[in-house]
Structures are given as C-alpha cells and as structure tokens.
Structure 1
Amino acid sequence: MKKLFLFTLTSMLILSSCVSKKEYAALEAKQKETQDLLNTATVKLNSCLADKAASAARAQALEEQVADLRKSNDNLQVLSAKGASNVEKTLESIKEKDLKITRLQDALTKKDSVTLAIVTSLKREVGINDPDIEINVEKGVVFISIADKLLFQSGSYNVTSRAKEVLAKVAKVVNSKPDFECMVEGHTDNVPYQSGVLLDNWDLSVKRATSVVRVLQGLGVNPKQLIAAGRADYVPLVDNDTAENRARNRRTRIVVMPKIDQFYDMVEKEMKNLSTGTN
C-alpha cells in the first residue's frame, strides 16, 4: 500500500513537472465532463434496463393473456361446434316426431274414414228412422244399440224373427270389414232375474249376447270377429226409476271396431318405415 502511494505521488510530481498548470486544469475539467457524461449515461442505462425489465414483464403478461384467450377461443369453438351439433340433432328429432305424428294422424284418419263408411252402410241398410235402433260413433268406434223388445220376448234370450232380419243387415256390413271385430254386449234393467239355470241379470245379459252372436255366426260372420259380453244392469242409459226408463236400459249393443292388435301392428309398421326412411 505504501509502495502504491509513493508511486502515485512520484507520478504526479513527474506530470506536474511535464504539464503546465493550464493544461492540467483543462485535462481535469475534461475528465470531470467525461465523468459527468458517464454518470448521466449510467443513469440512462439503468433507467433503460428498468424499462426493459418492465416491458419484458408486460410482454410476458400479454403472452400469457394471449395464450389464455387462444385457449378460451378453442374451448368456445369446441362448445360452439357441440352446440351446433346438438341444435341440429334436436331439429332432426323434431322433424322425425312431426313426421311420426303426421303418419299416425293419417292412420287415424284412414280408420275414421272406414268407421264413417260403416256408419253410412249401417244407416242405409238398417234404417236410422227405426226408433228401436240407434247408430252412433264414439271415439272412432261404431255402436249399434238395439232395443230389447226388438230382439227378445220378455224374460227370454231367444232371438225373434224380426230381430234376425235386422241382424242379417248388420252381418252384411260386418262381413264387408273382415279386419274389424264385432262385440255384442247384453244389458238389462235392475229388476232381479232368475229362471232355470240363469241365476241373475249377469247370466241373462251374457246369454242374450251369445244368442245374438250365434245368429250372426249363422249369417256368415267369421266367429273370430265375434265377442260375446254381458254387462247386466251396471251400465244403464238412464235411471231405472220408471217402466219406460227400464225399457230403455234393456238393450243389446253391437260394437264394431278395428282389431286392436292390427291397429298397433299398423302403428308399429309406420314406426319401422320411419326408422328405415321408407315412404
């Protein structure tokens, strides 16, 4: 350390002896100016370095935001594609359901058309003006109600000759519709009945129904189309409070309707046609 101090002192003495005071002052001023410039440059450099670091941090943050936005955009595109696909599938499903409904409505319309044709035929054949015979349609099913006095003698289940004439006309219409069923329902009033082997109104109503069924079968109706049923006095048209009302409740109702299994087969066939695209 002492050697360095002596060396510096010696150098200054040598320089002071070689350079004038004026030149030395100029050099000293120049050295100060250079030092000031260096200090200024250092400050600016540090400021630039700080700005650079801040810019780099902002750039990094922006890059991260861009990456997040790209990721969100990709997710939105995926969701949008899925949404569009779901909407398209929903529309296709709605169209298929509309087509099925249209097909079923067409099937029901055809059934109603056939039912209307049956009613027209029955009215023309039997004669709607007969007060003892009523023909109407309820929910696509044809109902023929024949008064008890036209079919049977009082307390009897043997069909009268006049009734056979009416049933012959009914048989003609039923025979023209082999895909339909014909159910015969016997109805009585509420007066208790017992005669021979018949125990009550149930027996009487069923026995009268089977008597009509046998007549229809004898007139050529396919027995596979025929159904015999008894309702006794449990489905009255009116209250059994007068002789006239009891007479109205004593009746035989013939129900002409499409075979249920065939109707569902038709519906199932339409469904299969829809699934395979068959017209």
Structure 2
Amino acid sequence: MKKLLVLSAVALLTLSSCVSKKDFLALEEKQKSTQDLLNSATVKLNKCLADEAAASARILEINQRLKDAKDALTDLKSSNKALIETSQGMTVLTTQGAKNLEKSLESIREKELKISRLQDALTKKDSVTLALVTSLKKEVGLNDEDIEINVEKSVVFISLSDKLLFTTGSYNISPRANVILGKVATVINGKPNFEAMVEGHTDNVAYSKGVLLDNWDLSVKRSTAIVRALQELGVKPEQLIAAGRGDHLPLVANNSPTNRAINRRTKIYILPKIDQFYEMIETEMKNLSQEE
C-alpha cells in the first residue's frame, strides 16, 4: 500500500512538470476517489475476513455439537438396547416368578387341605373317645374307688384293682369281678368295631407256683382268665387281646404293702377300630414331611 502511494506521488510530481494544473487537479481528484474506493474495499475485505472467521468458528461449534449429538445418540442407543435386554430378562423373570408363586400357592392350598383332613380325623377320633368314656362311665359307674376309667395317650382304659378281681397269688376271678366285667362286656358288645386288650400287672414280690414261673406268668394268666370271662359274657374272641406286664411297669415304688397293692392291677384298654383315621393321619403327615 505504501509503495502504491509513493509511486502515485512520484507520478504526480513527474506529471506536474509535464501536465497543466487542470489536468493535475483532475488526476489528484481521481487519485483521491481511487483511495476512497481502496479504503472501502479494505474495510469490506476486513469485514469479510471477520465474517469468515466467525463462520469458521460457528462451523466448528456446529461440528462439535453434531459430534456430541452423535455420541449422545450412540450412548442412547446403547442404553436403549440394554433396557430392552433388561426388560426382556425381567419379563422372563416375571413369568417364572408368577409360575413359582402359583406353585407355592397350590402347595399351600394342598397343605391346608391336608391339615384340614388331619383336623377332621383327630376331631372324629376325639369324638369317638369321648363317647366311649361316657358310655363306660354310665355302664360301670364311678362309685368304687378301685375302678378307674380314664384316657391314656388318647386310648380309653378301665383300671381294676387286684382285690376286685383275684385273691392274693391267684388267677381265679372273684364273683364281684364278674359283675364289673359283665358291664364292660355290655359296652364292648354294643361296639362291634372295638377291641379290648387286657393287660395284667403285679407287684415285685417273687412268685412261683405250679406251672407259673414268675410274676410275668401270673400277670398273663390273669389276663387270659379275664379274656375268657369276657368271651363267656358274649364278647367275640377276635375282639379280645391278652397281655401281661408283670412287675415291670409299676405305678409307684414297691416299698410298702399299700404301694404294692396299688401296683397289682388289671387294665382293660378299649380300642376303637379307626384304622382309616390312623392310616390317613400317618400318610398325610408323611406327605407333609416329604414336601417340606
């Protein structure tokens, strides 16, 4: 630019010496106009350069935003894919969970049914036991302290003192015993689905007489004597069971005549034939145990 001005000045000086003042003024005016055009062009050029720089910066910013957007889109796609996979997995888990829940509910319903059946069976069994105790107490009576009617482990029994049934060291039944056994026979005969187990007990005083070797023999012999008496009173033999305990299951210590008299006794267990109830209870309890 400086060179141009210098050349213009030199040219003017050169021309001034060669041209008239009028031409010189015209040239000077033209030079001024050219200078104005040059200045205007320079300003526009600078503005264009500034606009270009701003546009370049804007393009860079847009490119960066576009890149960020692409990166964000990529992350979003990746997250969306993961969510879809998780959702599918959750669907599978939810379906499996629903199946497991249904199985659990079904198992609970089955157990509730089994428990209900067990309760029904036990209720029926308790009802039978209560009815039997009531019947025996009505027939046999409770006026004699040597007669006990009770329930032991859900089994009804009649306990008769030794002095009611036999003389000391004997297995022959007394006349008074026949009266009591007649009442027991009436109860058993009225319930053909029942059994009667006669169980003899002695004290620990050593015993040996004739074919009887010890107290165990004596206890069994007394049981068979009562079984025969009940049979003669009309009880079916298939309903009767004879058993003996000897002196091996005393109620009290055999340390006095009074205690030994207590231990000498005969128990008659009345056993209702409710095998279907017991079998059901055992089966259901086994099933419950296996399922837990």
Does TM-score exceed 0.5, indicating one fold?
A: yes
Q: Which runs of 5+ in 2 are unaligned?
A: 1-32, 286-292
**In the alignment, what sits opposite 1:113?**
127
Instruction: Look up the equivalent residue of 2:219 and give its one-letter code.
Output: S
Out of 60, 77, 80, which is 1:46 matched to?
Answer: 60
Q: What's 1:255 paired with? A: 269
Q: TM-score, normalised by structure 1?
A: 0.79
Work out which of the residue numbers 233, 237, 242 in structure 2 matches 1:228.
Answer: 242
- How many corresponding residue pairs? 253
Sequence identity of aligned pairs in percent? 57
Counterpart CA distance in 1 for 2:198 and 2:85 is 74
Indicate the residue corresponding to 2:206 in structure 1.
192
Q: Does 1:265 align with 2:279?
A: yes
Aligned twin of 2:13: none
Query: What are structure 1's unaligned runs of at least 5 residues?
Result: 1-19, 272-279
3-state SS of paired residue (1:128): coil
CA distance in 1, matches of 2:89, 2:52: 54
The structural deviation recorded for 1:141 is 1.2
Taking the aligned partners of 1:262 and 1:212, their CA distance within structure 2 comes to 29
Offset of 1:98 from its aligned partner? 2.6
Does residue 77 of structure 2 align to residue 63 of structure 1?
A: yes
- Partner SS for 1:131: coil
The answer to whether structure 1 residue 168 and structure 2 residue 203 are counterparts is no
Please tell me whether residue 203 in structure 1 is matched to residue 214 in structure 2: no
Q: Distance in 2 between matches of 1:257 and 1:265?
A: 15
Q: Tell me the amino acid that sits aligned with residue 65 of structure 1.
A: S
* Alignment partner, residue 3 of structure 2: none
Per-residue CA deviations over 1:57-78 (Å, capped at 9, x if unaligned) read: 1121122222223333333343
1:214 to 228, 231, 245: 228
Work out the CA distance in 2 between the residues paired with 1:270 and 1:222: 33
The answer to which of 118-127 and 191-200 deviates more is 118-127
Q: What is the distance in 1 between the residues matched to 2:123 and 2:189?
A: 22
TM-score calculated relative to the size of structure 2 = 0.76
Matches within 5 A, 1:119-130: 119-130=133-144
CA drift of 1:269 comes to 8.9
Structure 1 CA distance for aligned equivalents of residues 190 and 57 of structure 2: 113
**RMSD (Å), alpha carbons:** 2.7
Secondary structure (helix, strand or coil) at the match of 1:166 reads helix
